[in-house]
Chain A
Amino acid sequence: MNCNCGGTAESTKDAALATMLAEYREKPGALIPVLQGAQAIYGYLPETVLAQIAAALHLPLSHVFGVVTFYTQFHLQPRGRHIIRVCLGTACHVRGGAAIFTALQQHLDVNDGETTEDQRFTLESVACIGACGLAPVITINDDTFGRLTPEQLPEILARYA
C-alpha cells in the first residue's frame, strides 16, 4: 500500500504547467492559450495556478483574473466529471430547448453553471452548439445528442458514470 496516486498526479500536473509556461513565456498574446492549457491540465483554474501564470508572463494577477472572468470558457471552481451543455440558441429555443434544460435541472437538482454534489455532472446552458439542424441539442463532453425529448434524458445520462 505505498500507492501515492493523488500526490503523483498533482506533481505531474504541476510539471506539465511548468513545461507549458516555459514554452509560452516569450510569445506575444500568450495569456489565453496558457489559460486554456492550464484548464486542460487541472480541469479548472485554481487561484495558485493563476498566480503562477501571472508571475511567469509578467502580468498583474488582477489582469489575469480580469481575462479569466471575461470569457465563459474559464472556470474558477472544480467541475464535474461530465459536462452537459444544453443549447438555448435560437433554433433550439423555437424547438423546445428550454424544456430540455428544465428537465435536466430537475433531474440533476442543479442550476445553470452548477455541479452535482457527487461531482458527476456540471450543467451549463450555451447559445448554439452549431448543430441547429438537429435541434434541440445537448452535448455531454464531446458527444452530441440531437432531436431530443425530455423523456430520453435519463437513459442518456445513465451512460455517464
Chain B
Amino acid sequence: MSKTTTEILIIGAGLSGAVTALQLARSNIKVTCLEQGQWNNREDYPGDKPDFELLSMGPWHANPNVRKSPADYSILDDTSDIKPMLYNGVGGSTILYSAHWMRFLPSDFNVHSLDGVGKNWPINYHDLAPHYNQNDIDFGVSGIAGDPAYPDFPEYPMPPLPIQPWGERVANAHHKMGWHWWPGSNAIASLPYKGRRPCVQRSTCRAGCNEGAKGSVDQTHWPEAIACGAILKTGARVSRILLDQHGLACGALFKDASGNTHKIESEIVILASHAIGSAQLLLKSTSPKFPNGLANHSDQVGRNLMMHPLSRVIGFFDEPMMSWQGHWGQSIYSLEFAETRPEHDFVRGAKWNLSPSGGPLSAALYPIDESRCWGKPLHQRIDNWLGRSAVWGITAEDLPNRQNRLVLDPNFIDSNGDPTVRLIYKVSENSKRILKFMTAKAVQSFSEAGAHQTSASSLVTDNGWHALGTCRMGIDADQSVVNPWLQSHDVKNLYIVDGSVFVTSSSVNPAATIAALARRTAKYIIKSRSTIKRAKI
C-alpha cells in the first residue's frame, strides 16, 4: 500500500470540491483532491455528433445506473419515487448540468419561521450574498440583474443569452397576466469569457459542452487550482475516511483504477462527494467510536434526502421556431408561485424554467403520458413537436422528511465488498399538490402565449439531479451533522461542502448555493488556518 500526505484532502472534484480547492490553492494551502472519475476531452462529448440524442440516452445518460461507466457506483433506486442523476468525473455533475444559475430567495432560509414547515437554516441570504456575487464572476454567468423577486445584487458579468422566440411569447403572456418572469441566468458564456467561447446554441448541454461555453468546473476552476499547486488525482475512489486516536479525521483509503489500495494522510478532510456519495462514504466509515457511520452521532447522516420533484408541461405552437436549438439552460424563469400563499392547499411552491424541446428522437420518445404511441399518431406527435414546442420544467420545493433517506443495503455487495447504497424516497403529499397546481397554471401560461395544445406530465421520475440534505447543517449537534461553517459537529477537522448540507431545498436549482456555501467555508478555513483543529500526521 502506497502512502502520501497532504495538508488538506478533498474528496470529489465536482462543483463543491473545485470551488473549495481553488480558494485554498490560491492561498497556497497544500491541497490534494481524490476523484473517482477521469478528465473528459471536450471533443468526446456527443453534442456535435449526429447520434447525439441516441448517445445521451445511453452512455451519456445522467442516471449512473443506465450509463454504467467505470467511474460510476451503483445506487439501488427501486425504493425511490425519483431516480438519481449525477456524473462522476472531474467536474462532477456540472459536466451534465443545464447550468441554470439561481440564487436562493431570502425566504428559503427561513421556511419554519415563515411557513411553519421544515427547519430554518442557521445562516441567511446576506451571509451568502458576497459569495454568490464572486461566484457569478468565477463561473461566468450570463443574465441581467434587477429581478424584483430578489434583493439587488451586482450585474452579471455577461448579458443574457437570447430568450428565444418561445421565451418571447411566454414573456408577453406573463406580462399580460401580471405573472412574474425574468430572462434566464445561466452559467453559460454569452460572450468570449476568460478563454471560454460563447455558446453556439446547439442545445446539447446535458451531455457535456463541446465548446467549453458552459461553466463546468473542469473548465472554470480546476485549471487555475492546479496552476496554483493543487494536486488532483483521478481514478481514485475513496473507500474509507480514517480516524486517529483523538477522534480526528487523518486521511483516507482509496483504490486506484486497477483496484490497488492506497493511503493518504491529511490534517484536514473535506468531503465534496455529492449528497449521495458523501453520506454513503460516512456510513461506510464505521469505527468503534462511530459504529453507525462517521460523524453520525445524531443519526442524521443519510436522512432528509430531498430530490426536487419535477413536472413538465409542453406547449405546442403553430409556427416553426427551430425549438431543438438554443441553450438547454433556461431561456426564462418564473417565480410567480415560489412562495406560500394562503389560498393554496400546499405550502411553499415551485420554480419554473422554460427550455427548448429537443430533436426528433426526443419528440418520438419523450414520455408524455402512460399510453404507447406508434403508427400515424407517432408521426403526428413528431410533426406537432419538432421545432414548434417549448417546455416548462417545474421544480417543487421539497421539504425534509427523516424517512426519506439513503442507507447501505447489506444484501447487495459492490465491487469493493461493501454494501450498496439504497435510496428510500417518497414524493410527499405537499409536493404532489404543488405539482398538480403548477401544471394547471403552466397550461394556462402556454395557452395565453398562443399554444394550440399542451401536454403535462405531473411527475417526471427520471429527474433526481438535485439530491440534497443528507448531512444537514444546524446549530444543534443532536439534530444536524455540520455546523454553519460546514464543520462536522462530531469530528472537528472534517468538513462537508456539497449539496448534502442543505437544510431545506428551496425550489430553485441548487448549484449556485452549493458553490456559495463551499466558497464561504473555504474562506473560513483560510482565515482561521492557524487556529482550526488538525490531525497530527
Whether both chains belong to one complex is answered with no
Spell out A's residues near B (CB within 8 Å). none
* Chain B interface (Cβ < 8 Å from any Cβ of A): none
